[in-house]
């Protein structure tokens, strides 16, 4: 973000803090930071710094601060010690975010997973085979109508055929994929079937570490990086028998759809970017280049590319899926989830990757039970009144953007009719006014810490140029001036917002609608699924669940997809 936006956001936050009554601010870290290269901290320095931090200390107070900062309160040597520690990106902080409000009871019942029964014959063409959802591919593999090695060669060939247009592949993992495919062939031929992901080729967003492969984070300073570990998500999918065929593109350091290889394109419209930052997983899944993919989200990076590419993407509850071996952007907001061609595909992949691993200290041991035949009418469903009952598309009613909003609204109103046609009682819901925008700088502050050393050493500055066009280097520098006290105050206000949202949702299992800025801070799960089209490009319907409510949003999404065919449409490449 630019300096003006940063300052505006900070003033917004300080006002929200004051209104919240969370207590007064003391000495901000920014006051010390501005004086790091000076021998003596002067009152004039502190006067300038306090204006940046939105503070109003008196001249006498500033004089005493200067005396303290030039004496026992000088922390500059401590800061030098911190930087010399070279903490890197992987080191977890000792402070752990917990999105569970006081008094909430976590789900504890464990049961078997039950899939929708599927009968499928081998398609007549390779293209039809490539676009099948995992549920159907799995049945073909299980009944030995197709071998994992055949699927692997099909998807490798399609990746190579269409990547020049889509720019969705960072690295092919051909040798690894063929080894995994041979093993799957042999196991299945011998009667060992591991489950619905056995023999299914998939693609990983290129922030998941896999030994022997590059893990570039989409950024030119890291384009040759290899990490000597296997991400937990990769290891669990490998244990389930899935076959990694490619590391897929992501916006540089998880922002947007531009990376050092160019801009990832939507297969529905090559004039459009794939949206980000899980741009490659979105494009590759939509184009039938992988059976499924794994994306990550901090503030929209699964949901947005799922919308743009017309795939079904699940952002799980914070603390559900291990981030071990994944690039850290924000330790309290990063989430990993599946991007697939159907909701039940997402349920199958999520079941394989979720749960504690002893390596990520944020994880909860909460069961996930998938039952495709459970009673969908038992779900307590609301819909956001503001998202479905607005009168028009806002300002600029004749602009393409406004026309797109009108079409999306019409498609989603039709989708709500389908949901009611399933026997689900959907009632309107008004969320309270919650100041989530005022604490959005939590992400940037944590990201600046995650990339502190390369920022201070100017190692990221090449990202500002083509093809990445990244604003991260300047954003990281600006975030150095967020006072430490305000960061902690923001997280205190964050818990109040979590409590208020929990109370507002009451007994509802989910609501139809989305608020990405709010629920990425509170940790709630969300799913995006296709709801129709506007001028040849997909529109999306979104369900937001209560904390650890993945089963509910997946069940409703699956029922909706059983009654519609939007998710079965695919681009003509």
pLDDT digits (tens, 9 = 90+) for 48-86: 999 988 999 999 999 999 999 999 888 888 999 998 998
> Which pLDDT belongs to residue 30?
44
Residue 39: its pLDDT value, please? 80
Beta bridge partners of 80: none
pLDDT band (50, 70, 90) for residue 3: very low
The pLDDT tens digits of the residues spanning 299-342 come to 999 999 999 999 999 999 999 999 999 999 999 999 999 999 99
At residue 12, the pLDDT reads 55
Asked if pLDDT for residue 34 goes beyond 50, the answer is no
> And the tokens for 177?
């994929």
Q: Quick check: 446 and 253 in contact, CB under 8 A?
A: no
Q: What are phi and psi of 314, to 5 degrees?
A: -110, 120
Select the highest-mean-pLDDT range: 9-23, 102-116, 425-439: 425-439
Would you state the pLDDT for residue 9?
52
Beta bridge partners of 429: 384
pLDDT at 19: 56
Q: Quick one: which of 266, 338, 249 has its CA closest to 305?
A: 266
Q: What is the mean pLDDT of residues 403-410?
A: 91
Query: How confident is the model at residue 72, as a pLDDT?
Result: 87
Mean pLDDT in residue range 13-33: 47
**Is 3.20.20.150 the CATH classification of the domain at 126-362+374-423+509-568?**
no
Which segments of 67-180 are extended strands (E)? 169-172
The backbone torsions φ and ψ at residue 202, rounded to the nearest 5 degrees and listed phi first, read: -140, 170
Average pLDDT estimate for 137-161:
98
Among 515, 537, 535, smallest CA distance to 526 is for: 515
Quote the pLDDT of residue 111: 86
Instruction: Tell me what the mean pLDDT of segment 377-387 comes to.
Output: 96
The pLDDT, as a whole number, for residue 491 is 98
Task: Report pTM.
Answer: 0.92
The pLDDT assigned to 112 comes to 87
Q: How many residues does the chain have?
A: 573
Closest CA to 298 of 413, 368, 371, 207: 207
Residue matched to tokens 């919650």:
434
- Over range 388-400, report the average pLDDT: 67
Burial of 121 by CB count in 10 Å (0-12 exposed, 13-18 middle, 19+ buried)? exposed
Please tell me the chain's helix, strand, coil percentages from 3-state DSSP, rounded to the nearest 5: 45, 15, 45
The rounded distance, in Å, linking the Cα atoms of 288 and 203 is: 11
For 25, other C-beta atoms within 10 Å of its C-beta total: 16
Q: What pLDDT digit, counting tens, does each position of 248-305 carry?
A: 999 999 999 999 999 999 999 999 999 999 999 999 999 999 999 999 999 999 999 9
Is the pLDDT reported for residue 29 higher than 70?
A: no
Backbone angles phi, psi at 2, to 5 degrees: -80, 170
Beta pairing partners, 538: 533
- How many angstroms from the chain centroid is the CA of residue 237? 19
The residues spanned by each domain of the chain are 3-85+434-499, 126-362+374-423+509-568
Q: Residues 412-440: what's their mean pLDDT?
A: 97
Mean pLDDT of the chain: 93
What's the average model confidence in pLDDT over 140-145? 98
Q: What is the pLDDT of residue 6?
A: 42
SS3 572: coil
Q: Give the pLDDT band of residue 392 (cuts 50, 70, 90).
A: low
**Dihedral in degrees, nearest 10, Cα atoms 493, 497, 500, 502:** -130
């Amino acid at each position: 973000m630019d300096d003006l936006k940063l300052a505006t956001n900070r003033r917004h936050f300080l006002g929200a803090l004051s209104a919240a009554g969370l207590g007064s601010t003391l000495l901000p870290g920014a006051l010390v930071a501005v004086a790091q290269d000076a021998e003596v901290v002067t009152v004039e320095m502190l006067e300038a710094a306090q204006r940046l931090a939105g503070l109003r200390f008196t001249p006498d107070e500033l004089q005493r601060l200067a005396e303290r900062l030039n004496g026992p309160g000088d922390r500059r040597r401590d800061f030098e010690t911190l930087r010399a520690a070279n903490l890197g990106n992987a080191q977890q902080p000792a402070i752990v975010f917990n999105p569970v409000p006081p008094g909430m009871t976590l789900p504890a019942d464990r049961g078997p997973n039950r899939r929708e029964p599927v009968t499928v014959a081998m398609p007549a063409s390779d293209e039809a085979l490539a676009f099948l959802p995992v549920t159907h591919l799995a049945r073909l593999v299980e009944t030995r109508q197709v071998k994992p090695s055949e699927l692997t060669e099909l998807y490798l060939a399609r990746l190579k055929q269409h990547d020049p247009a889509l720019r969705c592949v960072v690295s092919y993992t051909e040798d690894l994929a063929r080894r995994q495919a041979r093993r799957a062939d042999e196991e299945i031929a011998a009667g060992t079937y591991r489950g619905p992901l056995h023999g299914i080729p998939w693609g990983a967003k290129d922030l998941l570490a896999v030994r022997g492969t590059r893990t570039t984070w989409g950024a030119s300073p890291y384009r040759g990086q290899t990490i000597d570990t296997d991400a937990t998500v990769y290891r669990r999918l490998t244990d389930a028998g899935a076959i990694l065929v490619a590391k897929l593109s992501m916006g540089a350091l998880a922002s947007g759809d531009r990376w050092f290889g160019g801009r990832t394109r939507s297969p529905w419209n090559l004039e459009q970017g794939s949206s980000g930052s899980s741009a490659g997983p979105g494009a590759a899944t939509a184009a039938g280049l992988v059976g499924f993919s794994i994306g990550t989200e901090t503030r929209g990076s699964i949901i947005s590319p799922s919308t743009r590419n017309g795939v079904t993407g699940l952002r799980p509850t914070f603390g559900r899926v291990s981030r071990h071996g994944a690039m850290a952007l924000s330790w309290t907001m990063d989430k990993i989830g599946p991007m697939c061609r159907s909701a039940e595909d997402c349920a199958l992949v999520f079941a394989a990757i979720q749960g504690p691993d002893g390596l990520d200290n944020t994880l909860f041991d909460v069961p996930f039970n998938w039952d495709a035949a459970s009673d969908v009418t038992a779900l307590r469903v609301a819909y956001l009144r503001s998202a479905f009952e607005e009168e028009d598309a806002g300002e600029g009613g004749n602009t393409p953007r406004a026309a797109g909003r009108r079409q999306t609204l019409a498609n989603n109103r039709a989708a709500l009719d389908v949901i009611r046609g399933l026997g689900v009682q959907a009632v309107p819901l008004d969320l309270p006014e919650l100041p989530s925008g005022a604490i959005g700088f939590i992400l940037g502050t944590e990201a600046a810490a995650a990339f502190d050393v390369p920022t201070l050493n100017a190692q990221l500055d090449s990202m500002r140029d083509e093809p990445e066009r990244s604003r991260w280097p300047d954003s990281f520098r600006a975030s150095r001036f967020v006072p430490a006290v305000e960061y902690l105050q923001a997280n205190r206000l964050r818990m109040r917002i979590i409590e208020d949202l929990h109370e507002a949702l009451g007994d509802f299992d989910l609501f139809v609608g989305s608020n990405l800025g709010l629920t990425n801070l509170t940790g709630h799960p969300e799913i995006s699924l296709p709801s129709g089209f506007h001028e040849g490009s997909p529109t999306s319907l979104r369900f937001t669940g209560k904390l650890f409510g993945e089963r509910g949003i997946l069940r409703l999404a699956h029922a909706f997809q059983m009654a519609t065919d939007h998710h079965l449409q695919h681009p003509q490449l």
